[in-house]
Amino acid sequence: MTPEEILPDALLERIRSRAAGYDRDNTFFHEDLQDLVEAGYLKLFVPADDGGQGLGLAAAAQCQRRLATAAPATALAVNMHLVWTGVAQVLSARGDASLDFVLKEAAAGEVFAFGNSEAGNDSVLFDSRTVAERRPGGGYAFTGTKIFTSLSPAWTRLGIFGKDPAARGGDGELVHGFITRATPGYRILDDWDTLGMRASQSGTTVLEGAEVPHHRVFRKLPVGPNADPLIFAIFACFETLLAAVYTGLGERALILGVEAAKRRTSFKNGGRSYAQDPDIRWKVAEAAMAMDNLYPQLASVAADVDNLAGHGPQWFPKLVGLKVNATETARRVVDLAIRVSGGSSYFRGSELERLYRDVLAGMFHPSDDESAHNTVANAWLGPLDD
């Protein structure tokens, strides 16, 4: 199925019509989620034989781009479920079945969230401030604080990781696993009151000894950067699907800018449309050219993941480069669209005003600007001397 068949116009319009209300009331997108579940959207990566859409990353990214044109916060939060199911699919395509159970559970209707970010952990996936304490039988009890957990009102499975400090001769080991909503020993704080992406309801999750049983621990990795396929799969899916969300946001901003330019008229120029104004035309063209640079990059990086392309040490630069280009381009395009649209976009409740706030979140997702540039510089210049 194409993205247009999976997300038909009528469904997209329904989702778009709710976005302003969720944002204004700072509420979770329950109705959108229900619609998306019914449309089979949470099974994009689930194989067709198991009742899913059987898509790869390139097709799923186009779906996310399309969804984000209607509701960026809904798309961003659903992204977290798609990241886990995408990771399972990317690993499976490379002969690693360790997360096949994620696809089976998604087929059965489970909703996955991504509980990895931690306050003050700029090592992101390569170290953790959460303690994973080994239990008899091989499970682990997790204690720590995960921030920005999107989908917090709705997830039924939360992927987390923490450090077992005693493992590997005291060097520590990073332990990855899933808890379920029914697992005791965690709290979700009602602390999501942000500038934008409000419907994602990405509240803080406090882990207070939440236990992951042995059979749901799916990776144990050394502290520090490493080449485990899980790390590649998380980066590949996270950066690509995130880029798709911000691409869709930018695409919508451009459409709104074009509509505004055609709608607004100039008193000075005898009531002619601003679409006839050379300065406004230049800004619209600038925004369109920026978007036209982004679409092929998104498509080709995602297709390369699907096609098992061998980019070697250039893989991470390609992935972080896509993320940074998408989030920064979307910011620039929203800015241009606002300049084209004039003062109406400054009013609360205007769609561009919401997109202006939503698009800022792109700066904070990994890889942030500093980390992305460091990754790319390392790939081209080698690491810094000690």
Binding site for ligand FAD (CB under 6 A): 76, 80, 114-117, 119-120, 122, 147-150, 197, 200, 202, 361, 364-366
Pairing relation of β-strands 157-164 and 112-115? parallel
Cα 270 from Cα 108, distance rounded (Å): 62
Pick between residue 69 and residue 202 the one whose CB is nearest to ligand FAD.
202
Looking up tokens 């087929």, which residue turns up? 107
Distance of CA 31 to the CA centre of its chain: 20
Task: Give how far the C-alpha of residue 323 lies from the chain's centroid of Cα atoms, to the nearest Å.
Answer: 10
For helices 72-93 and 9-25, the axis angle rounded to 10 degrees is 120
DSSP bridge pairs for 206 = 145, 187
Residue nearest to ligand FAD (CB): 120
- C-beta of 263: minimal distance to ligand FAD in Å? 31
Comparing CB distances to ligand FAD, the nearer of 11 and 77 is: 77
Q: What are phi and psi of 237, to 5 degrees?
A: -75, -45
* Nearest to ligand FAD of 62, 121 (CB atom): 121
CB-based contacts of 308: which residues, under 8 Å, 6+ apart? 93, 94
Q: Which residues partner with 136 through β-bridges? A: none
CB of 23 to ligand FAD, least distance (A): 12
Query: Smallest gap, in angstroms, from Cβ of residue 309 to ligand FAD?
Result: 26
Q: Which is nearer to ligand FAD, 3 or 196 (CB)?
A: 196
Q: Which is nearer to ligand FAD, 64 or 200 (CB)?
A: 200
The type of residue at 203 is G
* 39 class by beta-carbon count within 10 Å (0-12 exposed, 13-18 middle, 19+ buried): middle
Question: What is the smallest separation between the CB atom of 116 and ligand FAD, expressed in angstroms?
Answer: 4
Nearer to ligand FAD, 122 or 171 (CB): 122
In the complex, what is the shortest distance from the CB of residue 298 to ligand FAD, in angstroms, rounded to a whole number?
Answer: 19
Least CB distance to ligand FAD at residue 106 (A): 16
Complex with ligand FAD: residue 114 or 232, whichever CB lies closer: 114
Instruction: Kindly state the smallest distance separating residue 73's Cβ from ligand FAD, in Å.
Output: 7
Least distance CB 105 / ligand FAD (angstroms):
18
Q: Kindly state the smallest distance separating residue 302's Cβ from ligand FAD, in Å.
A: 20
Closest CB to ligand FAD among residues 43, 146: 146
183 vs 371, beta carbon nearer ligand FAD: 371
Q: What Cα–Cα distance (Å) separates residue 304 from each residue in 90, 93, 99, 134, 297?
A: 11, 13, 21, 38, 11
CA distance 374 to 384: 10
